[in-house]
A = this chain, B = another copy of it.
Amino acid sequence: MDRPSDTPRGQQDSRPRVPRATVVRLPQYLRFLRDAEAAENHYLSGARIAAALKIEPAQVRKDLAVTGIASRPGVGFCASELIYAIELYLGWNNTTDAFLVGAGHLGAALAGYAGFQRYGLNIVAVFDLDDHKVGRKLCGKPVHPFDQIAAKAQEMHVHMGIITVPSGAAQDVADVLVLAGIRAIWNFTPVELDVPPNIVVEKTDLAASLAVLSRRLADALRPSR
């Protein structure tokens, strides 16, 4: 009933736990700071950042504290310092190579999105089960046969996979990615993937966002009378 050693959460919990919501906000700060930097605003107070992004000032200070960068009262944060620190924190200073599986419309949208470069993401290859798509290019990225994932992952030292296949194939694709040594999966299907605990999965579920929007629209239209 009682376990020998009662490790509460992981082993070495030296890192202070950062709320997910904070990580979600970091790209917002990053964008704003890059724009400010481009506009020659090199120093910005937390209060100003807060006002621009409609976030509570205290929240901004707390969020930015995770970067380890201090702000000087009266002067503010040094934009370039913060930009560098946020990129570092998110691992966006070095580009991460990723595989994309599923050369459909959504796959094409992601493969063709030049903006990912700013987020340190580089889709190096696309895979698809459909032989008609193999050999062609999808938005400039070569499309390989699905069964070459493992070989190419070893060869190219790729750690991240993006799944944009139909729901029915999602789990199979995930299994293959895991076997290929992929450590992080960005799942664009609504399927709750079953993967080993050491694999990081992040789901982008369009239906979830749409649900919130639909519900709020219904609320907005109802009492309009």
Contact = CB atoms under 8 A, between A and B. Distances in A.
Given A200-B213, A210-B121, A218-B91, A190 B31 contact: yes
Nearest to A32: B192
A113 B105 contact: yes
Contacts of A26: 211
A156 B217 CA distance: 17
A84 interface: no
A223 B26 CA distance: 23
Contacts of A96: 214, 217
Nearest to A207: B27
A146 interface: no
Contact of A108 (B109, B207, B213): B109
Given A53-B192, A112-B105, A139-B105, A217 B24 contact: no
B214 A120 contact: yes
Nearest to A203: B209
Contacts of A210: 27, 116, 119, 121, 186, 202
A205 B23 CA distance: 13
Interface in A10-27: 12, 18, 20, 23-27
A43 interface: no
A213 B192 contact: no
Most buried by B among A53, A109, A221: A109
Interface string A182-225: 01101000101000001010101111111111111110110100
Contacts of A27: 190, 205, 207-208, 210-211
Given A24-B208, A184-B216, 10 more contacts: A24-B212, A28-B208, A96-B217, A105-B139, A160-B217, A183-B220, A186-B210, A186-B213, A202-B210, A204-B204
Please list the 8 inter-chain residue pairs (A to B) with the smallest Cβ-Cβ separation, ordered nearest first.
A202-B213, A105-B109, A184-B217, A27-B207, A109-B109, A91-B218, A106-B109, A105-B112
Interface of A: 12, 18, 20, 23-28, 31, 53-54, 89-92, 96, 104-106, 108-109, 112-113, 116, 119-121, 139, 159-160, 183-184, 186, 190, 192, 198, 200, 202, 204-218, 220-221, 223
